[in-house]
Amino acid sequence: MKNFNFCVPTDIRFGRDQIECLPTELKKLGTSVLLVYGGGSIKLTGLYQKIMALLKDDFIIYELPGITPNPRINAVRAGVRICKKNKVDVILAVGGGSCIDASKAIAAGALYDGDPWDLVLDKTKVKGALPIADVLTISATGSEMNPGAVISNEETKEKLELNTPVLYPHLSILDPTYLFTLPKRQTAAGTADIISHVFEQYFQKGDGAFITDRLCESVLKTCFHYGPIAMAEPDNYEARSNLMWAATLGLNHILTVGKGGAWSCHPMEHELSAFYDITHGVGLAILTPAWMRYVLEKDPGTAARFAMYGRNVWGIMDNKDGDEYAVGYEVDAEAATAAAKKAIERTADFFREMGLPSKLSEVGIGSEHFEEMAKEAVRTSGIASRSYVPLDASDIVAIYRSCE
Amino acid sequence: MKNFNFCVPTDIRFGRDQIECLPTELKKLGTSVLLVYGGGSIKLTGLYQKIMALLKDDFIIYELPGITPNPRINAVRAGVRICKKNKVDVILAVGGGSCIDASKAIAAGALYDGDPWDLVLDKTKVKGALPIADVLTISATGSEMNPGAVISNEETKEKLELNTPVLYPHLSILDPTYLFTLPKRQTAAGTADIISHVFEQYFQKGDGAFITDRLCESVLKTCFHYGPIAMAEPDNYEARSNLMWAATLGLNHILTVGKGGAWSCHPMEHELSAFYDITHGVGLAILTPAWMRYVLEKDPGTAARFAMYGRNVWGIMDNKDGDEYAVGYEVDAEAATAAAKKAIERTADFFREMGLPSKLSEVGIGSEHFEEMAKEAVRTSGIASRSYVPLDASDIVAIYRSCE
């Protein structure tokens, strides 16, 4: 295992009616609150009214509605202005990863004198942040228990990550019943996002981190088991609760300890979202099987890990003599490659079964920006140097083309 | 999944040479330090000298050596006296779970006016604690990332747990190379302890916490895979690092979220240790298979979970039609029972292969206190009311007898 630090201080309150703790816990962080939310679905579900009723007596509440998917730096700037003008103590995000990510950038921007986009470009300029609490209504990004925020800049067509320890939320309220009203396409895209987060961490050199690989497989099994159940029965508490916790564990650092390396599908997808504003999880579902096929072809040595994935997650047992848990297909490269291909196609089938597209044309993306997007993916990430199979711009264009 | 809170703020520094961070990180907690350690093995390995060299310039160090396995309240009292007399800022435990547990009780006792045993008997009397840092040299109890401490009272023959959130260590340094010098019997007993922690959490009602069950199986696979490797090759870094992190995850709350219930083998074993001062992990290795056999017989409904364990951890596939991951043997009770028995005997075999005893007579324990110990186990735990299969004193005596 590689050396690692692990310190995840977020206070998670998980389950039905955990919202009741909000007044008590929020008061520990302050009484002047900026409420950050999205398009207003929380008013339709009654969550907005519930929170207002809980907070009305002891808190001053300012509001920043209208946070969009792929949250924009302009919304962050608006939030920062409210915080500075009103001496806000604490940010309360109510929504999904976009609301939490915007809130993190606002929290850091509120304690910074310049334009908050400076902080996205250079996190060393972050000198502190207001405390953040959140009530999660879409489960996917894991933002509720990590210190990262992805912010888009429409003018420069950039979508970049700000990640620094002061941005861990202090309090995250996760009530799976809030997911009951999610549209199917969001359930599908969210599940694809969780799965991709796990893949990005799992498909790295093992470095002897057996335990971390097993934990990754546990979260993948959970997604594959409960994704279809949540699609068919949106109010299935068991499915929603397992997926909700899978999303949190998917990106709270526990699946990467002892391993590590740059990600692959996320930087390629971030360009799709930046250029075309498509749903992140949809882009990932399209790119992931294409990326898998491409890297298996480019580096046949990856077959062992893809076959291990197939064996431990999907029960694909082509090589019965291999080690049951660890990378163990080296003994028979042909069997490993066959198992790897089956595992990849099983993954593609899963995304299709979830109703997700498998081609860029299905989401209105043509080939016009492939080169430009590929160059940006290389420029803004470690994909060409530190990812599982390093890919340059021409590789990325080839992967985009295979999804046309 | 059951509702849960999860907040584990300990700062983990894992890997080779992480000790180098000690001066910087410890200074954040204070400069007047009580160093708590055991029988002096850290002087033989050079760790004591290394720490003294790192701290000599900027810290005042008081020492409490001689902490024993099953740490005593008298040692805690001695530590509390040193803290109060010298205005100690921070406790630094260097050792295994016993040193950390003693340090937690000292940390709480230092901020309490009465006898620290009061706190063990009634944790609501804990009003605060000095910060705790630790350098782990034996990996098993998980104390480095949880707020629990088990303290023994020789006079009253009690071994009880103090558990309250202020006792989370602030900083835990986990360097797997420190485990290279562990004697085989400690490696074996430590591995049995980790496994038992996972079993205590895994063998509970599932409550739909699929993901948590899968995480438990991941940690079990890690122990079963690397336990024998660490026995054969004490300086195998991959084995030591995976086992070290398995121990931490084994009892840092992540394996119990969404589930829960009282433990079974630990309360029964605590009485063995309290009456006979045997090694905790050795007692667990003796009792665990006996407990499994007994509860499977007493409640045949447990067969599904034992069979799931056998299938997902050991690859025992008697019922190929069952659900691959979840409790899925209900369809065929006979096949489930057969698989359950195989899984239990495979577990017993593992402990034997690790060189651990399987009978109480092997560790010098006769039947003279069975009734008394059984009553104490019931009195001091939830085993008779809230455990996987509730057991009264006569059940416990029967389990002890089956280990004679």
A18-55 pLDDT, tens digit per residue, is 999 999 999 999 999 999 999 889 999 999 999 999 99
**A36 bridge partner residues:** A64, A93
Mark whether A35 and A136 lie in a shared domain. Answer: yes
Q: What is the DSSP letter of A262?
A: B
Mark whether B243 and B314 lie in a shared domain. Answer: yes
**A218 vs B222: CB contact, 8 Å cut-off?**
no
d(CA B136, nearest CA chain A) in Å: 15
Residue A85's contacts (CB-CB under 8 Å, 6 or more residues apart) are none
Mark whether A280 and A334 lie in a shared domain. Answer: yes
Whether B31 is in a domain gets the answer yes
User: Taking a C-beta distance cutoff of 8 angstroms, is the pair A356, A235 a contact?
Assistant: no
Mark whether A110 and A226 lie in a shared domain. Answer: no
User: Taking a C-beta distance cutoff of 8 angstroms, is the pair A61, A120 a contact?
Assistant: no
Report the half-sphere exposure of A227 (CA within 13 A, side-chain side): 28
Q: What is the CATH number of the domain that holds B84?
A: 3.40.50.1970
CB contact, 8 Å: B20 with chain A? no
pLDDT of residue A325: 56
Q: What is the CATH number of the domain that holds A192?
A: 1.20.1090.10
Cα B193 to Cα B97, B113, B226, B382: the distances in Å are 11, 34, 14, 20
* Element of type H or E holding A395: helix A393-402
Mark whether A174 and A188 lie in a shared domain. Answer: no
pLDDT of residue A205: 86
Give CA–CA dist A225/A198, Å, rounded: 15
Mark whether B239 and B194 lie in a shared domain. Answer: yes
- By CB atoms closer than 10 A (0-12, 13-18, 19+), residue B318 is buried
CB contact, 8 Å: B320 with chain A? no
Whether A2 is in a domain gets the answer no
Give CA–CA dist B10/B112, Å, rounded: 23
Number of domains in chain A: 2
**B211 vs A246: CB contact, 8 Å cut-off?**
yes
* Chain B residues lying within 8 Å of A214, measured CB to CB: 217-219, 221-222
**A132 bridge partner residues:** A91
Instruction: Please give the interface size between A and B, counted as residue pairs whose CB atoms are below 8 Å apart.
Output: 127
**Residues 139-198, chain A, touching B (beta carbon < 8 A):** 176
Give CA–CA dist B209/B228, Å, rounded: 30
Q: How far apart are the first and last CA of chain A?
A: 39
CB contact, 8 Å: A22 with chain B? no
pLDDT of residue A387: 98
User: In chain A, what percentage of residues exceed pLDDT 70?
Assistant: 97
Please give the average per-residue pLDDT across A342-346, as a whole number: 97
Domain boundary among B154, B179, B204: B179
Give CA–CA dist B337/A244, Å, rounded: 33
* Chain B residues lying within 8 Å of A249, measured CB to CB: 211
Whether A4 is in a domain gets the answer no
Please give the average per-residue pLDDT across A96-106, as a whole number: 97
Mark whether B222 and B172 lie in a shared domain. Answer: no
Q: Which two tokens stand for residue A362?
A: 């299905």
**Helices B280-298 and B184-202: crossing angle, nearest 10°?**
30
CB contact, 8 Å: B136 with chain A? no
Whether A170 is in a domain gets the answer yes
Mark whether A40 and A153 lie in a shared domain. Answer: yes
User: Taking a C-beta distance cutoff of 8 angstroms, is the pair A155, A141 a contact?
Assistant: no
Mark whether B213 and B117 lie in a shared domain. Answer: no
User: Taking a C-beta distance cutoff of 8 angstroms, is the pair A106, A83 a contact?
Assistant: yes
- Secondary structure in 3-state letters for chain B: CCCEEEEEEEEEEECCCHHHHHHHHHHCCCCEEEEEECCCHHHHHCHHHHHHHHHCCCCEEEEECCCCCCCEHHHHHHHHHHHHHHCCCEEEEEECHHHHHHHHHHHHHCCCCCCCHHHHHCHHHCCCCCCEEEEECCCCCCHHHCCEEEEEECCCCEEEEEECHHHCCCEEEECHHHHCCCCHHHHHHHHHHHHHHHHHHHCCCCCCCHHHHHHHHHHHHHHHHHHHHHHHCCCCHHHHHHHHHHHHHHCCCCCCCCCCCECCHHHHHHHHHHHHCCCHHHHHHHHHHHHHHHHHHHCHHHHHHHHHHHHHHHCCCCCCCCCCCCCCCCCCHHHHHHHHHHHHHHHHHHHHHCCCCCCHHHHCCCCCCHHHHHHHHHHCCCCCCCECCCCCHHHHHHHHHHCC
pLDDT of residue B24: 98
Q: Of B151, B150, B143, B133, nearest to B35 (Cα)?
A: B133
Q: Which two tokens stand for residue B50?
A: 């290394």
Whether A3 is in a domain gets the answer no
Domain boundary among B147, B179, B211: B179
Mark whether B35 and B152 lie in a shared domain. Answer: yes
**B222 vs A214: CB contact, 8 Å cut-off?**
yes
CB contact, 8 Å: A242 with chain B? yes
pTM: 0.96
Select from A11, A211, A246 the Cβ nearest to the Cβ of B218.
A211
Parallel, antiparallel or unpaired: strands A148-153 and A158-163: antiparallel
Residue A335 pLDDT level (bands cut at 50, 70, 90) = confident
Angle A176-A52-A178 (CA atoms, 0-180°, nearest 5)? Answer: 10
Whether B54 is in a domain gets the answer yes
Whether B5 is in a domain gets the answer no
Q: Which domain holds residue A97?
A: 11-179
- Secondary structure in 3-state letters for A50-88: HHHHHHCCCCEEEEECCCCCCCEHHHHHHHHHHHHHHCC
pLDDT of residue B324: 55
Whether A157 is in a domain gets the answer yes
pLDDT of residue B274: 87
d(CA B167, nearest CA chain A) in Å: 15
Give CA–CA dist A161/A104, Å, rounded: 11
pLDDT of residue A294: 98
Say if residue A320's pLDDT is above 70: no
d(CA A258, nearest CA chain B) in Å: 9
Mark whether B279 and B309 lie in a shared domain. Answer: yes
d(CA A252, nearest CA chain B) in Å: 12
Mark whether A241 and A390 lie in a shared domain. Answer: yes
* A312: nearest CA partner in chain B: B312
Q: Low-confidence residues of chain B, pLDDT below 50?
A: 322, 329
CB contact, 8 Å: B12 with chain A? yes
DSSP 3-state of A325: coil
DSSP 3-state of A91: strand
Domain boundary among A129, A145, A179: A179
pLDDT of residue B272: 95
User: How far from the centroid of its chain's Cα atoms is residue B371's Cα?
Assistant: 25
* Element of type H or E holding A336: helix A333-353
